[in-house]
Chains A and B, each alone.
Chain A
Amino acid sequence: MNNRAENKTINLSHGSGGLMMRKLLNDVIFKAFDNKYLNRKHDGALVKLTGEIAVSTDSFVISPIFFKGGDIGELAVNGTVNDIAMCGAIPRFLSLSFIVEEGLGLESLIRIVNSVKTAAKNSGVRIITGDTKVVEKGKGDKIFINTTGIGEVHPKANISSEKIKPGDKIIVSGCIAQHGMAIMSQRKGMEFEADIKSDTTNLNFLVKDILDAFGSKIHLLRDPTRGGLAAVLHEIAEDTQTGITIYENKLPLEKQVAAACEILGIDPIFVANEGIFVAIVDSDITDDLVELMIQKEKGKNTVCIGEISQDHPGKVVMHSSIGGKRIVSPPIGEQLPRIC
């Protein structure tokens, strides 16, 4: 990119299918993701995989698109990589689809593409096919990204909610609520001074490590993104009709995040995460699993937060730090700060 090009903004011509679009694809997209699958420039990609395959798709819509700890590009890769990993699979390939709003700076697009490139490299996945559309100003929110991932299921994995049974332990791989509070701290009208960074990262290697070591003793894996920990636990309890018991004083929470939640009157268990997962595991392996995970950088804050119980089927009960109990309900909508 020369300086003249960098000063440009995306306009409708970039999505027209004509020369402008071709130049954008060649100069920005193909250049960034140079690989043999993409370079064929077919409408689709031809790949070889063996065994059972996991597929997942997700669309990423976030404001602001650049935030402390990451950006929408990194999120779009890590999010789908993690969804594949939660199936007990090793992510291999990604598709990448941009819907860009007219007026987005080309420099911003290049920055996002480079983030996608780095995140894909770090996760060991290749971008093999994609699409770019441009919509009129006001008909998008700067940029939307869709990614679809394909992965091969780990040979030792047997992830299924049907395997969950009373006594199983609930493990969380890191501190909760960081992504949601990082975004909230930068939202217009709400900016507050806090060094809270999004936890967006890939989890596939950590998942591979625990599957290598414990195989089918890992009963279920879920990443608690939107709706936070509460949404995931509630879904598990409801889908499996088992009871979930968690302990408030075990929840891993950074001080700054806890303070920000406190100020806004927001419960951290409802806040989005992007770099942690919940594992429901056989109780026999709990200590060894936690021991293994805390030795890895991305699992250093791993903790067992509770267990599956025979009581209260379909419900999540939290033991409060002062000795009380309460039901954790699913979140209703977006977390909104209270009046007073």
Chain B
Amino acid sequence: MKYLNEYRNLEATNRWLNLIHKTITRNWNIMEVCGGQTHSLVRNGILELLPEKVRMIHGPGCPVCVTPLNLIDKAVELLENNVIVCSFGDMVRVPGSKKSLMQAKANGGDLRILYSPLEAVDVARENPQKQVVFFAVGFETTAPANALSVLQAKEKGLKNYSLLVSHVLVPPAMEAILKDELCKVNAFLGAGHVCTIMGLGEYYPLSAKYKIPIIITGFEPVDLVQGIYMAVNQLEKGIFEVENQYARVVKKEGNLAAKNLINIVFRVGSRQWRGIGEIPDSGYVLQDEFNEFDAELKFGIRHIQVPENKTCIAGEILKGIKKPYECNQFGKNCSPVNPLGAPMVSSEGACAAYYHFTNTV
């Protein structure tokens, strides 16, 4: 906690805030990519401490929010067909087209809320007569453990374990945002946890191609205000570089062992993003040699496709085109108790963060 407290320090926060105030001369739009950063900005009341010229835009970096509706429907379909579905906690309340995993559990489905995919392998081992599926949601951060679970299941010879894969990658999403003609983003705060695994390599070409500063940033108040200062500083000087604010955790090359695990089990493939649509090469799919662990193939559920709710503007929220409170459903027909879209459900979702911490409705 001592290490954390240093990054929740009033004086240090104020030092960086003062520098931002002194440096800034123009309006700048800075997108924090990661939902954890959104959560921290709002929870710590940082947004109101920033000068008006800094407009933070909340990015698509919430793995729960971007998981497409049809993947949730597929998980529900499995749950209703006698399969043990294992999932991280945040995912279970997200509504599918008809119901959430929590509602399917209430109807008798065997849903297990777990904290690691390796526990799901144990569930498979303990229940040889049942099929067990782990809902493998997440960005690059959760991919290594999910990959390891597949390798463990293979080593143990388990035939009743598989993954419902919904892995997405951050850099392609950032590029999709930059390509959008409505894009207002002048600089990014890169997702610190993702870079802990992947390193900085993917961000240099992105920064150079779109002439945009990318500051790899942590999650504590001091991290965030320092990251914002670094972005403002580059913008004011007219430079665009990749900088590493989170150097105490992120190495340039990332975590090589974790990357190796990912590459053994997964390959890059096309993925649907909730509210954004399909982005080429924006996620992980299982390598062909691990097809036996692909729940979509195993249970023949690939065909399940459903349209998204048209009244929910999750896509515009996730791309930073609109703020949560600019949605006319916010706090009215859409709240954490009755969410229309995922950004209102997940604890990392921008809409939920605004609803919980700044709601004025």
- A262, A321, A339: residue with the most chain B Cβ atoms closer than 10 Å: A339
Docked-complex contact A322 and B142, CB < 8 angstroms: no
| Contact assessment for A321 and B115 in the assembled complex, using a CB-CB cutoff below 8 Å | no
Q: Which residues of chain B from 71 to 125 have any CB-CB distance to chain A below 8 Å in the complex?
A: 88-93, 112-116, 119
Known: A327-B356, A327-B357, A340-B141. A320 touches B44 (CB 8 A): yes
Residues of A within 8 A of B112 (CB): 189
Min CB distance B245 to A, Å, is 16
The B34-65 residues at the A interface (CB cut-off 8 A) are: 36, 42-49, 63-64
Contact check, B90 vs A339: say whether CB atoms are below 8 A apart.
yes
* Nearest-neighbor residue (CB-CB) of B47 within chain A: A324
**Is B355 in contact with A329, judged by CB distance below 8 angstroms?**
yes
Task: Report if A337-B14 is in contact (Cβ < 8 Å); known contacts: A327-B357, A327-B358.
Answer: no
Whether B139 lies near A340 (C-beta < 8 A) is yes
Question: Is B42 in contact with A326, judged by CB distance below 8 angstroms?
Answer: yes
Q: Which stretch from B1-9, B152-160, B251-259, B289-297 is at the chain A interface?
A: B1-9
| Interface set, chain A 319-340, CB cutoff 8 A to B | 319-329, 332-333, 336-340
Per-position 1/0 for A253-271, Cβ under 8 A of B: 0010011001001010000
Of all chain B residues, the one with the shortest Cβ separation from A334 is: B89
Out of B8, B49, B114, B358, which one reaches A321, CB within 8 Å?
Answer: B8
Min Cβ gap B346→A in Å is 8
Shortest beta-carbon distance from A14 to chain B in Å: 28
Complex interface residues of chain A between 87 and 110 (CB less than 8 A to chain B)? none
**Is A339's CB under 8 angstroms from B64's CB?**
yes
Q: Is the CB of A326 within 8 A of B347?
A: no
Q: Does B221 contact A (CB under 8 A)?
A: yes
Within 8 Å of chain B (Cβ to Cβ): is A49? no
- Specify which chain B residues have a CB less than 8 angstroms from the CB of A190 in the assembled complex: 115
Measured CB to CB, the nearest residue on chain B to A264 is B115
Docked complex Cα distance between A178 and B14 (Å): 32
Using Cβ atoms and an 8 Å threshold, which residues of chain A touch B90?
Answer: 336-339
Number of A-B contacts (CB under 8 A): 97
Interface string of B293-326 (1 = CB under 8 A from A): 0000000000000000000000000000000000
A324 to B225, CA, bound (A): 12
Question: For A328, what are the chain B residues with a Cβ–Cβ distance below 8 Å?
Answer: 357
- B10 on the interface (CB 8 Å rule)? yes
What residues of B have a CB within 8 angstroms of the CB of A322 in the complex?
8-10, 13, 44-46, 49, 221-222
Give the distance in Å from the alpha carbon of A329 to the alpha carbon of B10 in the complex: 24
Closest approach, in angstroms, between the C-beta of A113 and any C-beta of chain B?
32
- B49 x A339 contact (CB < 8 A): no
Contact-residue bracket for chain B: 35 or more
Inter-subunit contact A326/B44 (CB<8 Å): yes
The chain B residue sitting closest to A319, CB to CB, is B45
Interface size in chain A (residues, C-beta < 8 A): 26
Chain B residue contacts of A189, Cβ below 8 A: 112, 114-116, 119
B348 within 8 A of A: yes
- Asked if B218 is an interface residue, CB under 8 A from chain A, the answer is no
Is B138 part of the contact surface with A, judged by Cβ < 8 Å?
Answer: yes
Q: Chain B residues with Cβ under 8 A from A338's Cβ?
A: 36, 88-90, 347-348
Closest to B360 in A: A327
CB-based contact B36/A340 at 8 Å: yes
Bound together, the chains give a CA A211 to CA B355 distance in angstroms of 38
Contact of B93 with A324 in the complex, beta carbons under 8 Å: no
* Contact across chains for A323 and B49 when beta carbons are under 8 A apart: yes
| Cα separation A274 to B348 with both chains bound (whole Å) | 28
- Would B45 and A325 count as touching, CB distance under 8 A? yes
A339 touching B113, Cβ below 8 Å: no
Residues A326 and B64 in contact, CB atoms below 8 Å apart = no
Q: How far is the CB of A336 from chain B (nearest CB, A)?
A: 3
Q: Are A323 and B357 in contact (CB under 8 A)?
A: no
Could you say which residues of chain A place their CB within 8 Å of the CB of B336?
A: 332
The answer to whether B4 touches A324 (Cβ under 8 A) is no
Does A339 lie within 8 Å of B9, measured CB to CB? Answer: no
A326-B358 in contact (CB<8A):
yes
The B344-361 residues at the A interface (CB cut-off 8 A) are: 347-348, 355-359
Do residues A339 and B142 form an inter-chain contact, with CB atoms below 8 A? yes
Task: Tell me the nearest residue of chain B to A325, going by C-beta.
Answer: B45
Question: Which residues does chain A contribute within 8 Å of B115, judged by CB atoms?
Answer: 189-190, 337
List B contacts of A262 (CB < 8 A). 1, 4
Determine whether the beta carbon of B49 is less than 8 Å from that of A324.
yes
What are 19 A-B pairs at a CB distance below 8 A?
A: A189-B112, A319-B45, A320-B44, A322-B13, A322-B46, A322-B221, A323-B10, A323-B13, A323-B45, A326-B43, A327-B357, A327-B359, A332-B337, A336-B90, A336-B347, A337-B115, A339-B63, A339-B88, A339-B137
Nearest 10 pairs between A and B by C-beta? A324-B45, A336-B89, A329-B356, A326-B357, A322-B13, A340-B141, A332-B336, A322-B221, A325-B45, A320-B44
